[in-house]
A and B are shown apart, each in its own frame.
Chain A
């Protein structure tokens, strides 16, 4: 079974530039997550999709960050314009979990390798 694919692995940009990250989840996984992991901290959820709908984007800085999951499969996360404090690893994850459904079975998330973003 292929894992979660992310690209690029590394990206260096100047502040105020824009950047986009791509994620291809595991086939058949309904839920897709984007996390931001700053050095020394745990992953922080940015946005969570179930199929192509947004479940939670409460911690997404919407003035500069945007994400979409067209057709409920691949997803892109964009930052425009980037700030120095956006330097982090951006992790994509997917799971079979369906949130908010009766008798939903809790399952783990499968993570990609992440994209390390450096803003200079």
Chain B
């Protein structure tokens, strides 16, 4: 039972356009959500997060939106740059239970 799902294994966008990466979860106890970026041969690095008490968090070109009723979050990257090409993982945490779960990732390719 995969509690965090990233249904698009890959996404390709043109430089300068918007990239939208999606993530769905099933566990209603999740109260904190994170996006990580991973380059080949490196460990994931933290990108942006959002608490369940918010519906939007913005950091420069990156914005995360949370729709609790739909159990859905999305990461928007505007404008997309070639250096954004990487695997993006969505992660969700149940703070009280001390559990965190990752999705399987979406490979983003930004074409010059």
Residues of B within 8 A of A40 (CB): 104
Q: A42 with B102: in contact, given A4-B43, A108-B46 (CB under 8 Å)? A: yes
Q: A55 with B98: in contact, given A40-B104, A108-B34 (CB under 8 Å)? A: yes
Smallest distance from the beta carbon of B105 to chain A beta carbons, Å?
A: 5
Judge whether A114 is part of the interface by a CB distance below 8 angstroms: yes
Judge whether B32 is part of the interface by a CB distance below 8 angstroms: yes
The answer to whether B98 touches A43, judged by C-beta atoms less than 8 angstroms apart, is no
Q: A42 with B89: in contact, given A99-B98, A100-B98 (CB under 8 Å)? A: yes
Chain B, interface residues (CB within 8 Å), range: 20 to 34
Q: A111 with B99: in contact, given A41-B104, A106-B49 (CB under 8 Å)? A: no
The answer to whether A106 touches B43, judged by C-beta atoms less than 8 angstroms apart, is no
Judge whether B100 is part of the interface by a CB distance below 8 angstroms: yes
Residues of A within 8 A of B36 (CB): 108, 111
Nearest B residue (CB) for A55: B98
Residues of A within 8 A of B44 (CB): 43, 91, 111
> Footprint of B on A, CB under 8 Å?
4, 33, 35, 40-45, 48, 50, 55-56, 91, 93, 99-100, 104, 106, 108-114
Sorted nearest first, the 8 A-B pairs with minimum C-beta distance are: A111-B43, A99-B98, A42-B102, A108-B46, A106-B32, A42-B104, A55-B98, A43-B102
Q: List 9 additional contacts besides A56-B98, A91-B43, A113-B43; criterion CB under 8 Å.
A: A42-B105, A43-B102, A48-B98, A50-B98, A104-B95, A108-B36, A109-B100, A112-B43, A114-B43
